[in-house]
């Protein structure tokens, strides 16, 4: 009987503690401005990509060092620690048969400036830098203007 009583108290304590967590998190959220449409305690699945390709052809680069935008869909191409499906078209020599642009020579250079025979690990996660082009409104209003091009 006593044991049961103790268990009930422990269980009640747990329920109270768990109940407190969301209110603490909700309070923290009140003071934080964030762009995701869900609370910080909720999983945020990536929004569905409506259109990754535009009919306008390829977007030009806005400045010289810009990673080129991806002019094709990528939602079927897996990239994780072991697999990188982008490389089956963009790595030399596969790019030749796939008629795809080869990854830049900079991507075969490690951070010490040493030329490698394979892609540098610092370039493995392509979508860190390259994003599919999309004709979408900016997330945050800004006054960015592309560099003027001299012909």
Q: Which of 99, 114, 142, 143 binds ligand HEC (CB under 6 A)?
A: 99
Asked whether the beta carbons of 79 and 125 are under 8 A apart, the reply is yes
Establish if 133 lies at the interface with ligand HEC (CB under 6 A).
no
Q: In the complex with ligand HEC, which residue's Cβ is closer, 38 or 118?
A: 118
Tokens of 66: 């810009």
Please provide the size of the chain in residues.
151
Establish if 92 lies at the interface with ligand HEC (CB under 6 A).
no
Establish if 67 lies at the interface with ligand HEC (CB under 6 A).
yes
Residues contacting ligand HEC: total by CB under 6 A:
33
Q: Is 66 exposed, middle or buried (0-12, 13-18, 19+ CB in 10 A)?
A: middle
Q: Which of 31, 97, 106, 143 binds ligand HEC (CB under 6 A)?
A: 106
Q: Which of 8, 44, 62, 104 binds ligand HEC (CB under 6 A)?
A: 104
Tokens of 84: 């990188």
Q: Give the contacts of 63 (CB within 8 A, at least 6 positions apart).
A: 146, 147
Instruction: Give residue for tokens 């009919």.
Output: 55
- Which residues contribute to the site for ligand HEC (CB under 6 A)? 58, 65, 67-68, 70-72, 74, 77, 79, 84-90, 98-101, 103-104, 106-107, 119, 123, 125-130
């Amino acid at each position: 009987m006593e044991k049961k009583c103790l268990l009930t108290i422990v269980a009640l304590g747990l329920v109270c503690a768990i109940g407190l967590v969301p209110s603490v998190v909700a309070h923290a959220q009140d003071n934080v401005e964030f762009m995701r449409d869900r609370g910080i305690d909720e999983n945020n699945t990536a929004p569905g990509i409506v259109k990754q390709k535009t009919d306008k052809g390829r977007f030009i680069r806005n400045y010289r060092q810009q990673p080129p935008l991806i002019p094709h869909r990528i939602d079927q191409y897996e990239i994780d620690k072991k697999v990188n499906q982008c490389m089956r078209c963009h790595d030399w020599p596969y790019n030749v048969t796939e008629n795809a642009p080869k990854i830049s020579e900079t991507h075969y250079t490690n951070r010490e400036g040493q030329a490698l025979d394979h892609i540098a690990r610092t370039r493995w996660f392509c979508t860190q830098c390259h994003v599919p082009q999309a004709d979408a409104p900016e997330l945050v209003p800004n006054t960015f203007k592309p560099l003027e091009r001299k012909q």
